[in-house]
Structure 1
């Protein structure tokens, strides 16, 4: 049987600055058994939760519980999964992973990815849920201690208040289940300046200079054209992070990582928002003409800690 530890082992080596938990000095054969109900989730001085527990207990089996359910869509098999995760050793409290003070992790909701028990749990909850899971020690890895993880399920598309669209910009429609956008490019010539419109107003942290973002996006050509990489037709997709095999895109505003149109157009937006940008060549790619971007801002992390 696949176990929760599958997820734990996938996460721990990826954690920034993670350290391996020290082996417990207590003999597991005589240690009292630990139960997930004895672990208490609390707050901390950062965005991450904290865990209170009795160290040195024997967690021989994987355990999981739903702390609370969300109010979003039910999770579906095989669909993208965006998670905030805080994990710690149940021997000494060493933090093994913390995405709350950073950007969340993307997975597919599949038993071979998250483990069968957590997979079954996730199929019963909705976006916005919080779970607590315990992975037992060992299992073909360097981890020598049981691990507790707080897992928050985040939306993988924009969630917020609908804003009336501008009639002068391409019309955006969204898939009723996944939220993936599509556009209808108008017949008129494209604008010569950067155009930015908020289509869904999210309520999360605001994008600032230096903010780290997790986004889903699609970019379309406004007009027919030809570049070094071939010909394209009006409305063709240049690039997208929406396919299941792709992951949400991570970027830092103002770092030069993305084109000027995105750097400037996403400033002051908020997490949860969907933003439409019409990006002329002077703000984007000189050889691709005007582009239309629709960007779902899934998460914003401001290193200074401001919301």
Structure 2
């Protein structure tokens, strides 16, 4: 039996050597200032807040003040959080939107400037799970010079966010390394957890095959669950990636199981697995995109290989 243990362990040692200060605490991209300190917020965490502030607020850069202290590490680039969210026009004081509090489902926000507004992505880096933060975003980190008149934000207006970080998800799987069989694609991990994949130069199996690369210890994924995952998918014949949440800079959320939002093989690989696990799965055409392929670069009758990090169940 061959083991990917050596491959993953070797990359882990390289990561330690290269990172040097990897254990140091993350540094927020936004810090408190006069504008964020001027926002008064009352009410219990998780319940709709009462918010007031003098207007207009005109910070030069994005500011963030933690008004209810959270626990654990600060959020970092690439994480997903479920939040209660209040949004207000910082120039006029008008409410724009309040959602995700009380009995309302929380809102998913990505700590990624390309996936969400740059200012809110910066502001979330001063928050932890359980934090209530005030984030004040200037025009340059908000809607830009054109504003967004459809929601009442004119050019030059700042935006105030009140965010209750109700739940956070890691950016990578954290399970223990497992052995894999001979002939299975080799997976090595970059320092940030991004997988590098080498597909064997052999004909693919005719049926779905999977291996647990990292064994997690969290909640078991069930049919119909909404999961939070990182993934990379490659074409078996070419060995090239056709889709990756890592390249998009943020985890993805999917419903798995019958009637789910992903190809059958993806669901089959995840149902019954534990959060914190990393799964490698070979998906034949019948459990993938079949004879049609897809417009995202998958040809007809393609065998696929995915590496999937299971980060949580919503």
Q: TM tier, shorter chain?
A: 0.5 to 0.7
RMSD, aligned α-carbons: 4.1
Write the mapping of 1:248-259 to structure 2, written as runs, cut at 5 A: 248-253=251-256, 254-259=258-263
Mark the CA change 1:241 to 1:172 in structure 2 (over 3 Å): closer, same or farther.
Answer: same
Q: Which residue is equivalent to 2:144?
A: none
Structure 2 residue 271 is the aligned partner of structure 1 residue 267:
yes
The separation in 2 between residues aligned to 1:221 and 1:205, in whole angstroms, is 30
Q: Secondary structure at the match of 2:69?
A: strand
Q: Is the 8 A contact 2:84 2:106 kept in 1?
A: no
* Cα distance between partner residues in 2 of 1:207 and 1:269: 6
**Is 1:105 matched up with 2:109?**
yes
**Number of matched residues?**
237
Is contact 2:99–2:107 with CA below 8 Å preserved after alignment? no
Structure 2, gaps ≥5 residues long: 1-29, 32-37, 58-62, 89-93, 140-146, 154-158, 291-299
For residues 133 and 86 of structure 1, the distance between their equivalents in structure 2, rounded to whole angstroms, comes to 11
Matched-pair contact (CA < 8 Å) for 1:280–1:291: yes
Provide structure 1 residue ranges, at least 5 long, that are not aligned to the other structure. Answer: 5-32, 42-48, 224-232, 302-307
1:270 counterpart SS class: coil
Q: Which SS does the other structure have where 1:199 is aligned?
A: strand
Separation (CA, whole Å) in 2 of partners of 1:153 and 1:296: 15
CA distance in 2, matches of 1:258, 1:147: 33
TM superposition score normalised by structure 2: 0.60
By how many angstroms is 1:188 displaced?
A: 3.9
SS in 1 for 2:274: coil
- 1:292, distance to aligned residue in structure 2 (A): 0.9
Q: Say whether 1:173 aligns with 2:194.
A: no
User: Structure 1 248/135 Cα, relative in aligned 2: closer, same or farther at 3 Å?
Assistant: closer
Aligned runs of 1:7-156 on 2, under 5 Å? 35=40, 39-41=43-45, 49-50=46-47, 55=50, 58=53, 64-65=65-66, 67-71=69-73, 75=76, 79-88=77-86, 96-97=99-100, 101=105, 104-109=108-113, 113-115=117-119, 119=122, 122=125, 129-134=129-134, 141-142=151-152, 148-151=162-165, 152-156=167-171
- Find out whether 1:294 has 2:298 as its counterpart: no
Partner deviation per Cα, 1:253-290 (whole Å, 9 max, x = no partner): 12253222112111112333211101122222332432
Query: CA distance change for structure 1 residues 293 and 180 in 2, over 3 Å: closer, same or farther?
Result: same
